[in-house]
Structure 1
Amino acid sequence: MKAPALAVVIPARSESTRLPLLLADLAGAPAAWSLELTVVDGGSRDGTARIARLAGARLIASEPSRGRQLALGITATTAPWLLLLHADARLQPGWSAALERAMAQPEAAWAFDLQVEGTGLGLRLLEQAVRLRSQLRQLPYGDQGLLLPRSLLERAGGMPEIPLMEDLLLIQRLQPLAAIRRLGCPLRVHGRRWQRHGVLGTAWRNAALRRAWRQGLSAEQLAQRYYG
């Protein structure tokens, strides 16, 4: 049997509404990729686990900790390339071609351009700001997805097994090792966080969490603040 070329790891918790859409997107991947699909469920209380099984994904149970969930999924896979996606994401037209171009350049890591569901100037300005941050500072966050060679992740010390800020810590470890580039393709995410707190409120809240992280607050304390 041909070895899988790309492992997709999705941490999920109670995402029975959104996960099927992402899994349907991934079903359109080129057959030549030999996709290795893993969903790591963090104690869902809905049909998330059943949906993952029905879609043919490997299902792994975990405590609800995104970093731990990602680490478990990565360890369970073997493909030389990894694609890390949040369960509420939606792949957009052209995504597979963008990944193919990126996987021809194994010296870098890659992230999608953030696209938030919803209307309004605030969301469009947010997307532009994230694009600039990713382009100029090489600082994407986890909701943009991350494509990288397994060998690069290993050189960076693996996935941080913490419940929050695992994406920021991983990017900080990757930056001295390789370029972190834009795929040039959007990844659409659910707008619920921005709808709940507003664009400015969400930005302020996230900035406060990052500031507390830099000041030494533990990831566990930050997760309690974030998830309540």
Structure 2
Amino acid sequence: MDLVESSERPRLSLVLPVLDEAATVARHLAALQALRARGAELLVVDGGSSDGTADLARPAVDRLIDSPRGRAVQMNAGASASRGDVLLFLHADTMLPPAADELIHRAIAAGASWGRFDVRIDGRHRLLRVVERMMNWRSRLTGIATGDQAIFVRRDVFLAVGAYPELPLMEDIALSKRLRQVAPPACLRESVTTSGRRWEKRGVLRTIVLMWRLRAGYFLGADPQTLAVRYGYLPRQR
């Protein structure tokens, strides 16, 4: 995969995959404008939204990219079009801390090849506090990061490991396993805030159990496509 070359690269490129996020995309992008003002590049990669997400995003980004649906496919498309020395992959329902760019630059300057933030889940259910603590603790213990934790990586390292494996599910786990072979992650204690909507929609306890089963299946060699269907992902051709 070839990334766009430029003699005037931004230090940081944010890659945001979206699909039918019209209800929240404008608010989310508004929160990222301060980073753009400080020189970060913002790319939104639309996977075929049918609700006007792309039109809402266009005025607030440096590049709007059309892509086949699939989070890994979309993130790779964004990376291919990016110019930054460091790539930050951000889910559409995750908000960064205000100084995220400086925190990342400090980690990279200190020698990190890649890393992630701690995560806080937005929601009132008491079990969500347990979930976020377990996610952060597990990540430190295993060197595996999830997409909810806003993975960042040096551009050259991302290329060296072959980018995101284009899986329908667990692409973040697969990338982390590749990156972990290069170096352990920088585990930043500052938190991103991710929406609790998927836990609350299905039921928090039910979602916890489902995710444990899916991750266990993945590590035991189950087909990611089968796991994605169990999660509720329905591939769509464009």
Moved more, 43-52 or 197-206: 197-206
Distance 1:213 1:202 in 2: 16
2:97 to 81, 92, 98: 92
2:106 counterpart of 1:101? yes
1:117 to 105, 108, 122: 122
Normalized against structure 2, the TM-score is what? 0.88
2:227 counterpart of 1:208? no
1:44 to 20, 45, 49: 49
1:185 to 174, 181, 190: 190
Tell me which residue corresponds to 2:22. Answer: 16
Tell me which residue corresponds to 1:149. Answer: 154
Q: 1:182 to 1:214 in 2, by over 3 A?
A: closer
1:15 partner SS: coil
| Residue correspondence of structure 1 range 131-170 to structure 2 within 5 A | 131-170=136-175
For the aligned residue pairs, the C-alpha RMSD in angstroms reads 1.8
2:72 counterpart of 1:67? yes
**What's the offset of the Cα at 1:181?**
1.9
1:29 partner SS: helix
Moved more, 154-163 or 87-96: 87-96
Q: 1:30 to 1:48 in 2, by over 3 A?
A: closer
Count of residues in correspondence between the two structures:
227
1:225 to 211, 220, 230: 230
Distance 1:98 1:107 in 2: 12
Normalized against structure 1, the TM-score is what? 0.91
Distance 2:219 2:28 in 1: 33
**What's the offset of the Cα at 1:106?**
4.2
Contact 1:52 1:58 in 2 (8 A): no
Contact 1:21 1:90 in 2 (8 A): no
Letter in 2 for 1:18: T
Query: Any unmatched runs of 5+ in structure 2?
Result: 1-6, 234-238
Query: Any unmatched runs of 5+ in structure 1?
Result: none
2:61 partner SS: coil
Q: 1:4 to 1:97 in 2, by over 3 A?
A: closer
Tell me which residue corresponds to 1:28. Answer: 34
% identity of equivalent residues: 37
Moved more, 217-226 or 155-164: 217-226
Contact 1:126 1:199 in 2 (8 A): no
**What's the offset of the Cα at 1:30?**
6.5
